[in-house]
Each structure stands twice: as C-alpha cells, then as structure tokens.
Structure 1
Amino acid sequence: MTKWICFEEDGQERIGILEDEQIIVHNGDLFDDPTPTDIRRPLDAVRLLPPCRPSKVIALWNNFRQLAAKLAVPEPEEPLYLLKAISSITAPGAVICRPQAYDGKVVYEGERGIVIGRRLRNATETQAADGIFGYTCVNDITAAEIISRDKTFAQWARAKSFDGFGPFGPVIATDLDPMSLHVRTELNGMERQNYPLEDMIFPPASLISALSRDMTLLPGDLICCGTSLGVGSIKEASNSISVTIDGIGTLSNTFTQ
C-alpha cells in the first residue's frame, strides 16, 4: 500500500509518499508517474494540503443499507448524488468556521472518498476499477436545515458547499481492499460513527461506472461515497472532529461556532 500526501514548502505545493512519519518527496504530476527524489521531510514539520485538487466533488446520498433501513426509504436503483462546490474543500487540520449566513444545525458525515486516477467516460466496471487511483477520508459537513428550507426545492448543494465544508485527506491510499474497512467518526473524543464499507449499496466499481455514464470523470476527481448510521449535530463552541479509516489514516479538523 502506498500513501500519497500533498504539502506546502516555501510557498509551493509538493507531493510525496508517506512512510513512517517521513515524506519521500516526489517530482511531477501525482497522476502521471511522479518520480522520487532524495529529499525527506518529517510529517510534523510541514503544512498539509488537500491531497489532490479535484475538478469536481460528487457526493452520494442513500448509499448504505443500514441507513436506508433506519430512514425507512427504499434502496435506490441507481446512484443518487449531488455536486459539492470546489471552494468547500479544505485541508486536514484546518479550522472550519460556521458560516455567518447560517445559524441552524450543522452535522458531520464521516465518509470514504474515492479519487479518480484517469479519464473515464462510459466506463465498464472493469475500466472503472482500473481507473481508481486510491481512497481517502472525507467529512461531508452539512448545514442540515437548509436542505428543506424551501418546500419547492431541496437545496443539497447549497447545504454542503459552504467554505470549509469539504475537508478530505490526509492521504490517498492505494492498493487496498475497498470493501473490508470501517469508517469511524469521533466528535470531541467520543465515537459517533463506526460502520462497515461492505454495507455500501453501490460499491466503487459499479458506482464509478454509473457516474461515468453521466459525466466525464477526470484525474483527481473526488467521489464521496455517502455516510451511514451515527450522523449528528456539532454543538459546542469549538469542536474536534476526526474521521478514521484503518489502512488510510485519520482526517482531523476543528469546527468553531
């Protein structure tokens, strides 16, 4: 398994492979065979950035059987999704502030993210699987009360696209079994979510194949796989939120009211 990471050094964005808390710095494009250098950087000495720069963020709804059963909604016959604004993306460790324009309930949603590694259009499931670069941790933060504020139009994209509402990282992990893992979310040190990825209704290859029939997927695009049981409100003045997927790592951020 390889863990790719992105960080800032001397005002420039750099990439590397994380090994034993050390970054092996690489040159080139993350998605076009970057080459290793002799440079090493301690992980705790750099400022982390989002591990890639997506052209779009696609977020799934109702993609876990346990949550569908709890909500008493049918499992969908095809993926249900929305597009989340690129400007919502923020880095691991970043402080996320409540939007000034919204004073309602804000919720965390710990998720697994899929990062696309090559251009995909009308892909078969085999092509889709080959087009996955790796996996990451996502917190799909949501201004929950905005979704149904207008009874004539569900505002999913607005509710999920405030600045900072799309942290992901800290790494993109490759070469792991995407269905054998669990997603764990902690709010202020208390576990709130712990669900198996094998419960997904649309697993990675079939999901990406379906999405590629709607739109062209490009290297770096981020697919947020949806969440399961345990979503809850962020209530304290200052909150630590972490999303952990064994084999990938822990995404940690602070949310302030």
Structure 2
Amino acid sequence: MRIARFRFNGKISYGIVLGEKVIPAEKLGIPETVEEFIASGIKVSPEGKEGIPLSKVELLAPLSNPPKIICLGLNYFDHAEEQGREPPKDPVIFLKPRTSIAGPFEDIPVPFDYTTQVDYEVELAVVIGRKGKRIPEEEAMNYVFGYMVFNDLSARDIQFGDKQWTRGKSLDKFAPMGPWITTRDEIRDPYSLRMRTLVNGEVMQDSSTAKMAIKIPRIISVLSKGMTLEPGDIIATGTPAGVGVFRNPQRFLKPGDIVEVEIENLGFLRNRIVAE
C-alpha cells in the first residue's frame, strides 16, 4: 500500500495510491491526517473505490507534522570509505525540524548569502508505526510502518564550520521526502534496493541499501533505549558514496540545478534549486 498527501482543486488531502489513481481518505472512512492514520493501525481496502488520477494532483510531502525527523550520519560503508573513516558502531544522529520538510517535486529556495556549499544525499527513510521504548532488536521491524525516499540536503560550509551537523542540515525545505509512504509489507528486502542521485541528469550517487552499516532493527533498538519512538517519526538511515563535498572536484548545487533522488520500488523526488 502507498499513502500519499496531495493537493487537488485547492484542497489538501491524503489517500491510498492504487495504480495511477489516488483514493481520497474521505472515501475510505479513515482519519483526517496521515499521522492519525498511522497511529490508528486501521486496515483499509481501497479496491473498487472511485479515485483521482495521479496526473491531476500535486503530490506533497507524505507527512506534514511528524513528531521527530531523526537522521543518521556515516551509516554506509562506501560513504565512510570515501572519507577514509570507519562506520560507527552505534548510530550517530542529528535532528531536522519540521520546517525543513519539502514536497517530492517542490522548488528548494536556498539563501546563497548564508551558504554556498549545498549538497545532496539520497537516503532510505523509515516511518515508525507504533509507540515504543527500549524496543528489542528482534521485535524492531514490527514498529516499522513503511518507507519513503528522502534527500538530506546539507549546507556543508555551515556543517563543517560548526563541527556539528544540526544548523547546516536544518535550513527550510532541506528535507524533501516522498513521493509517498510505501508500507513495510510491500518491500520484501529493504537491503537490496538500488539508490541513485542525479544532478541535471548526471549520475552522482549510484549504490544500494545493501551497503547500510547499521541495519534498521539495530537503529530502532539503540535509539529507543534513550528516546520514545512515536507513530509518524521519520528515521533517515544515511547516504552512500558520491556526495558533492567528497567528489574531486567538489560538486555543490547552484540555482537552476535539478536534483533527482530515487530508490528502487519506492519512487523518486525531483527538486529544483532556486535562489531564495
């Protein structure tokens, strides 16, 4: 099942994507928001319901008000290798604010008087489906609602200047996500998905979730020892090699660049960088 938020005829709603149409929530008798739907645990069958063609809606970020956006650093073997480092044994995390959320096809306004080193990072995002604390690793996947594509945009000059990551990762619209949430049952193996980033059609990252160092059950288990995980929490699980800052020569984003990030079986995001 795929859950999408969208705008149609000036109204924002969400629903279940079925083929090339989306069945609005109001036709399914489900809660008013995606976050409430995830927390409810309701099972829904959209077959046979009247829908809206996807071509007629504007897809939005699947979640507008997640309790937390948690991101991991250095969690891919090839990304650590391109820095001459070893992946950490436990998750290294930072948080992004809700104001960093952007839609899957939205323009990203960048204050280039504040940062000149904007970078891309394709990531597999996990959406939490149940509240939990001190979750055993062997039970952790039962707390996963689904997955989506995530671009952890980063202002590298701020990030490395601060010697910590939050400010450089938290600019407005620096977390494009979507295009929908694909439920866990639809993805047989989350560690065999090809992931790519293209800038103006040129491939910059081309790797696989197979190179994820700390796997999802351990991420959830370790994080939940110290913080309560809640329905709708987003955990972005890290990026593979090929980011702009570690290329030779470096490749930072500039106004007019089209950034596409895609993950096999989950869809893609396409965002244009514009000057704020």
For residue 156 of structure 1, report the CA deviation from its aligned partner.
0.8
Q: Secondary structure at the match of 2:51?
A: strand
| TM-score with structure 1 setting the length | 0.92
Structure 2 residue runs without a partner (length 5+): 245-250
Q: How does 1:240-255 map to 2 (within 5 A)?
A: 240-255=258-273
| TM-score with structure 2 setting the length | 0.86
Q: Which residue of 1 aligns with 2:58?
A: 47
Distance change in 2, residues 1:124/1:12 (3 Å): farther
Structure 1 residue runs without a partner (length 5+): none
| Higher helix proportion | 2
Say what the alpha-carbon RMSD is for the aligned residues.
Answer: 1.7
For residue 8 of structure 1, report the CA deviation from its aligned partner.
2.5
Q: How does 1:75-90 map to 2 (within 5 A)?
A: 75-90=87-102
- Where do 4+ consecutive residues of structure 1 move more than 4 Å? 34-37
Distance change in 2, residues 1:34/1:8 (3 Å): farther
Conserved? CA contact 2:159–2:169, under 8 Å: no
Tell me the distance in 1 between the aligned counterparts of 2:98 and 2:193.
27
Q: Secondary structure at the match of 1:147?
A: helix
For residue 11 of structure 1, report the CA deviation from its aligned partner.
4.9
1:173 and 2:173 aligned: no
Q: How does 1:42-191 map to 2 (within 5 A)?
A: 42-52=53-63, 53-99=65-111, 101-150=113-162, 154-174=163-183, 175=185, 176=187, 177-191=189-203
Q: Which residue of 1 aligns with 2:213?
A: 201
Conserved? CA contact 2:8–2:56, under 8 Å: no
Q: Secondary structure at the match of 2:145?
A: strand
For residue 100 of structure 1, report the CA deviation from its aligned partner.
5.3
Please say which of residues 70-79 and 10-19 is displaced more in the overlay: 10-19
Distance change in 2, residues 1:104/1:59 (3 Å): same
Map Cα deviations across residues 187-211 of structure 1 (whole Å, 9 max, x no partner).
Answer: 1111111111111111111111111
Conserved? CA contact 1:88–1:162, under 8 Å: yes
| Higher strand proportion | 1
Please say which of residues 88-97 and 231-240 is displaced more in the overlay: 231-240
For residue 70 of structure 1, report the CA deviation from its aligned partner.
2.1
Report percent identity of matched pairs.
Answer: 36
1:15 and 2:14 aligned: yes
Matched letter for residue 3 of structure 2: W
Tell me the distance in 2 between the aligned counterparts of 1:113 and 1:156.
18
